[in-house]
Amino acid sequence: MSELSDPRNSNNSGIQNLVRAVGGAGTQFITVVGGGAGGAKVGAVIGSFICPGIGTVVGGVVGGLANDQFNEKVKDGAQKIVKSVEDGIDSAVKTTKAVGKVIDKGINSVTEKIGSVFS
């Protein structure tokens, strides 16, 4: 949940940071339910086959780091989706306002013409 207060995310909207936090929590949950620190365990097993002892340690560290990178990719992807949706909503709002102005001008023009007929 550090995504909500992380200074690197200060330019994001609150929704983007919330989605990053939920995405991160989700991947952490999947990792834990899937058997602990999944990436570290897989790395340690592979490292053990290559060179038992030091390979186990190095593999565990590399696997853990790879797992962290995977979590970041999930959070970044979720953030990009939310940003696209926000941009789409902003664009729709701007278009709606522009259409409203055109309609307002049209109504004013018709009102003026009707008023001039009766003057």
Q: Convert the pLDDT of each residue in 35-72 to its tens digit.
A: 446 777 777 778 888 888 888 888 888 887 787 777 77
**Is 115 a domain residue?**
no
Q: Give me the torsion for CA of 55, 58, 59, 64, rounded to 10°.
A: 160
Integer CA distances (angstroms), 14 to 21, 27, 80, 90, in order: 11, 20, 13, 15
**Is 15 a domain residue?**
yes
How many folded domains does the chain comprise?
1
pLDDT value of residue 90:
84
pLDDT value of residue 24:
65
**Is 58 a domain residue?**
yes
> At which residue do the structure tokens 């853990």 appear?
64
Tokens of 4: 């909500």
**Is 9 a domain residue?**
yes
The better pLDDT of the pair 9, 33 is held by 9
Quickly count: other Cβ atoms within 10 Å of residue 83's Cβ. 15
